[in-house]
């Protein structure tokens, strides 16, 4: 069956400098697919420079891959017909980090919500448009009287971000790509946005790609997680397995670096890179080797493939070279989406019939 | 025992065309020598304004309306500008979130360090300066060679550590770190905060860490204060505040922390912090408080000791309120305000069986 959105072995290289010779591989051999009939929340985590935002921009068609293709319902994003492009713009929505920047501060919030209704002819009358807006605001936990008729600066960050989610929801999308949607929002308001996002899957069957540097919120709302390091998948699979028992040394470093809100659980010391790692810096081996406390001979030779550690998890690390390998293009086998609640073979026909 | 820093009844207002903003409103706290104090608050709570007030860097339309700031037995607010300039860096140093951007990208670290010494009239030989800077850089976990590079060659975390090295260069008795890591990744954050802790222990300086990340506070601070809408609403030892917060706002902050241990229903807090111009009457937190009572709408609660060494400003701690009733379930049923504003509040009354 054709995926809603599919990244097929994409690589994105940015070149800079006078002769365009300074090359940065922002994303490397990345494959991923979202199946519209199995709504799921996938977290993509990594530090700055890990390629997570590049991945989001590629999936949204804001960048074109250097190698490989992103396909929407089987059609390459670069060659969509007018009708396909229109469908793509409606079914795949984005929510970005800074809810200030997405607003034109001279327009009231209403404008933000009316434009897509007009552009996509979602309502036949002003009254119907109004009803749609009210319904959508309610779905993200906002009250019309607290939001409509106001200017963006009169809303809190959490409210603004939920208006953005509402705007996306208006179009009845199949997938929302959210890039750091809560990182600029205060702690006491963050939960409201996260709850609104999670509600999208539970109530509307919308899939979400949640891009963040914050493992804790990813753990809270995601089904699956993909950990990126310098543009390459470090570890992927079921979010609980990955966060509770990280296998890749980079994921282990990430998890151990999180400051726990408990004075009695002190930070562990950062592990020292192995002696081998320090000597062989710059060699074409594993991308994490220079920082890795476990680096050994195979790591120097080549970038490790995905080793499958269980049904729902794999890591690109030679510590697990005894395990069977999994092609990067088959990574989505690990990401069962909402499979825990309903086995995939059962959920496909049911969801199809509902549409 | 006298404290290193005593902030008394501090009020800092911003006089804007849209009205007076009470950024810091009647805040009192102290910090002991060599202590790690955390100041927690969301954006707009006034925590950064306190840092600027201690540095005497409040600029118009902002003004320190009243209060005293005693550092080492001197009221900073009565010093003239030149005396205050000499105290900055020498007695009290500030490292902000954007501190790394305050380094001049095209001047070598070594030169910027020398400029700092010069402007404070510290006259040392080039060799002496070289040795001192090398020592400082090693203390913040950098290589001495960093002295000879330009800031643009360093990563954000390294620049932030250079700023910490500068902050400790004149051995101040107080370092204020205002969100020093919020622009950094979690791995680098740990390095920077552990550096700060190392610096604090080496100098035996007091550090005020300002931020909103409860995890960082738990890891770093010995004592914390919680700001809300310009007020200090709670203060106490870090363990007490995390185990048994006595102010409802602190409690909600704790409950809304996402956990790495178990997936849970996220506690959703109704409402948003009040706008800066239009602070509610009575207790500033009452419009969002799940335990609001009639008195909270009328009277501002007094900041007082509610447990050993733990202070809070909340009417729930009035002697004539029956705590057991309030703290176990939601606020009194006859309270109309509560029914209107919190009818769909998802904040549950935390189990407080232990309390009684």
Lowest-pLDDT range, A1-5, A40-44, B44-48, B207-211?
A1-5
pLDDT reading at B102 higher than 80: yes
Please report the sign of the dihedral spanned by the C-alpha atoms of residue B214, residue B220, residue B226, residue B227: negative
Residues of B with CB under 8 A from a CB of A: 42-43, 185-191, 193-194, 212-219, 238-239, 242, 252-254, 256-260, 263-264, 266-269, 272-273
Which string of DSSP letters, residue by residue, matches A301-337?
HS---EEEEETTEEE--GGGTTSPEE-GGGGGGT--G
pLDDT value, residue A35: 85
Tokens encoding B12: 């800092």
Q: What is the 3-state secondary structure (H, E, C) of chain B?
A: CCCCEEEEEEEEEEEECCEEEEEEEEEEEEECCCCEEEEECCCCCCHHHHHHHHCCCCCCCEEEEEEEEEECCEEHHHCCHHHHHHHHHHCEEEEECCHHHHCCCCCCHHHHHHHHHHHCCCCCCHHHHHHHHHHHHHHCCCCHHHHHCCHHHCCHHHHHHHHHHHHCCCCCCEEEEECCCCCCCHHHHHHHHHHHHHHHHHHCCEEEEEECCHHHHHHHCCEEEEEECCEEEEEEEHHHHHHCCCCHHHHHHHHCCCCCCCCCCCCCCCCCCCCCCCCCCCCCCHHHCCCCCHHHHHCCCCEEEEECCEEEECHHHCCCCCHHHHHHCCCCCCCHHHHHHCCCCCCCCCCCCCCC
CA distance B147 to B130: 8
> What percent of chain B has a predicted confidence (pLDDT) above 70?
87
Whole-angstrom Cα distance, residue B178 to residue B156? 16
Least confident range of A66-70, B128-132, B327-331: B327-331
Q: How confident is the model at residue A273 (pLDDT cuts 50, 70, 90)?
A: confident
- ipTM of the complex model: 0.78
pLDDT tens digits for range B262-274: 777 666 666 667 7
State the pLDDT at residue B269: 65
**C-alpha dist (Å) from residue A41 to A5, A95, A222, A276, B157:** 14, 14, 5, 38, 31
pLDDT, greater one: B275 or B310: B310
Per-residue pLDDT tens digits for B295-321? 899 899 999 998 889 999 999 887 766
> What band does A100 get if pLDDT is binned at 50, 70 and 90?
low
| A155: chain B residues, CB-CB within 8 Å | 272
User: CB–CB of A262 and B213 under 8 A?
Assistant: no
Q: What is the pLDDT of residues A328-349, one digit of tens each?
A: 888 888 886 534 444 443 333 3
CB–CB contact B218 A219 (8 Å): no
Average pLDDT in the B154-172 region? 87
Q: Would the pLDDT of B196 be above 50?
A: yes
- Kindly determine whether residue A261 and residue B269, on different chains, have CB atoms separated by under 8 Å: no
For residue A249, is pLDDT > 90? yes
Mean pLDDT score of chain B, rounded to an integer? 83
B242-262: pLDDT as tens digits: 989 999 999 888 887 878 887
- The answer to whether the Cβ–Cβ distance between A187 and B189 falls below 8 Å is no
- Three-class SS of residue A281? coil
**Rounded to an integer, what distance in angstroms lies between the CA atom of residue B190 and that of residue A54?**
26
> How many other CB atoms are there within 10 angstroms of residue B188's CB atom?
20
Nearest CA in chain A to B213: A187
How many CB atoms within 10 Å of residue B295? 15
Of B111, B60, B52, the C-alpha closest to B84 is: B52
Among partner residues B193, B219, B252, which is closest to A188 by beta-carbon distance? B252
pLDDT tens-place string over residues A36-73: 788 899 999 988 888 888 999 999 999 999 999 999 99
Q: Return the percentage of chain A with pLDDT > 70, whole number.
A: 89
pLDDT digits (tens, 9 = 90+) for A18-28: 666 678 889 99
Residue B93, token pair as written in the block: 């140093």
A250: which DSSP letter?
Answer: H
């Amino acid at each position: 069956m054709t995926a809603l959105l599919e990244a097929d072995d994409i690589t994105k290289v940015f070149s800079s400098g006078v002769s365009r010779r300074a090359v940065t591989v922002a994303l490397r051999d990345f494959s991923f697919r979202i199946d519209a009939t199995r709504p799921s929340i996938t977290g993509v985590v990594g530090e700055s420079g890990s390629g997570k935002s590049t991945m989001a921009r590629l999936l949204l068609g804001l960048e074109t891959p250097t190698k490989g293709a992103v396909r929407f319902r089987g059609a390459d994003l670069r060659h969509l017909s007018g009708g396909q492009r229109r469908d793509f713009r409606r079914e795949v929505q984005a929510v970005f980090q800074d809810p200030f920047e997405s607003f034109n501060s001279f327009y009231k919030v209403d404008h933000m919500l009316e434009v897509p209704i007009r552009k996509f002819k979602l309502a036949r009358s002003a009254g119907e448009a109004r009803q749609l807006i009210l319904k959508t605001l309610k779905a993200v936990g906002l009250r019309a009287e607290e939001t409509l008729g106001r200017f963006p600066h009169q809303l809190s960050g959490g409210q603004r971000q939920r208006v953005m989610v509402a705007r996306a929801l208006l179009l009845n999308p199949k997938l929302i790509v959210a890039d750091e949607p809560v990182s600029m929002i205060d702690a006491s308001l963050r939960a409201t946005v996260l709850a609104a996002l999670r509600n999208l899957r539970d109530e509307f069957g919308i899939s979400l790609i949640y891009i963040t540097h914050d493992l804790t919120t990813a753990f809270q709302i995601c089904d699956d997680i993909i950990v990126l390091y310098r543009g390459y998948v470090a570890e992927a699979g079921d979010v609980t397995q990955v966060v509770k028992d990280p296998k890749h040394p980079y994921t282990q470093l990430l998890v151990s670096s999180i400051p726990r809100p408990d004075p009695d659980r002190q930070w562990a010391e950062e592990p020292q890179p192995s002696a081998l790692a320090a000597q062989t810096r710059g060699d074409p081996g594993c991308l994490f080797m220079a920082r890795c406390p476990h680096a050994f001979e195979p790591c120097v030779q080549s970038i490790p493939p995905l080793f499958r550690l269980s049904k729902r998890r794999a890591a690109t690390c030679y510590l697990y070279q005894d395990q069977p390998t999994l092609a990067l293009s088959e990574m989505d086998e690990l990401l069962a989406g909402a499979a825990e609640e309903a086995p995939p073979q059962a959920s496909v026909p049911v969801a199809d019939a509902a549409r | 025992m006298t404290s290193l820093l005593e902030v008394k009844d501090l009020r800092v207002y911003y006089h804007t065309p849209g009205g007076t903003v009470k950024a810091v409103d009647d805040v009192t706290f102290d910090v002991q020598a060599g202590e790690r104090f955390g100041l927690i608050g969301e954006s707009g709570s006034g925590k950064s304004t306190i840092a600027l007030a201690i540095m005497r860097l409040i600029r118009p339309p902002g003004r320190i309306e009243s209060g005293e700031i005693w550092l080492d037995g001197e009221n900073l607010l009565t010093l003239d500008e030149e005396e205050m300039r000499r105290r900055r860096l020498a007695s009290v140093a500030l490292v902000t979130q954007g501190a790394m951007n305050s380094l001049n990208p095209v001047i070598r670290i070594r030169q910027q360090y020398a400029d700092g010494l010069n402007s404070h009239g510290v006259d040392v030989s080039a060799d002496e300066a070289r040795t001192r800077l090398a020592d400082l850089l090693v203390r913040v976990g950098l290589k001495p060679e960093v002295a000879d590079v330009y800031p643009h060659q360093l990563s954000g975390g390294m620049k932030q550590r250079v700023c910490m090295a500068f902050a400790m260069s004149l051995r101040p008795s107080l370092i204020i770190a205002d969100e020093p890591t919020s622009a950094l990744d979690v791995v680098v954050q740990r390095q920077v905060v552990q550096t700060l802790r190392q610096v604090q222990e080496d100098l035996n300086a007091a550090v005020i860490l300002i931020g909103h990340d409860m995890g960082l506070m738990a890891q770093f601070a010995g004592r914390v204060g919680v700001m809300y809408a310009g007020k200090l609403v709670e203060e106490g030892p870090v363990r007490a505040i995390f185990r048994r917060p006595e102010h409802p706002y602190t409690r909600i902050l704790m409950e809304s922390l996402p956990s790495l241990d178990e997936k849970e229903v996220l506690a959703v807090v109704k409402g948003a912090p009040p706008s800066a111009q239009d602070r509610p009457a009575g207790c500033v937190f009452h419009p969002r408080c799940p335990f609001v009572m009639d008195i909270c709408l009328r009277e501002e609660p007094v900041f007082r000791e509610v447990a050993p060494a733990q202070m809070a400003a909340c009417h729930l701690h009035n002697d004539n309120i029956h705590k057991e009733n309030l703290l176990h379930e939601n606020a009194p049923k006859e309270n109309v305000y509560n029914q209107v504003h919190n009818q769909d509040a998802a904040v549950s009354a935390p189990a407080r069986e232990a309390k009684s």
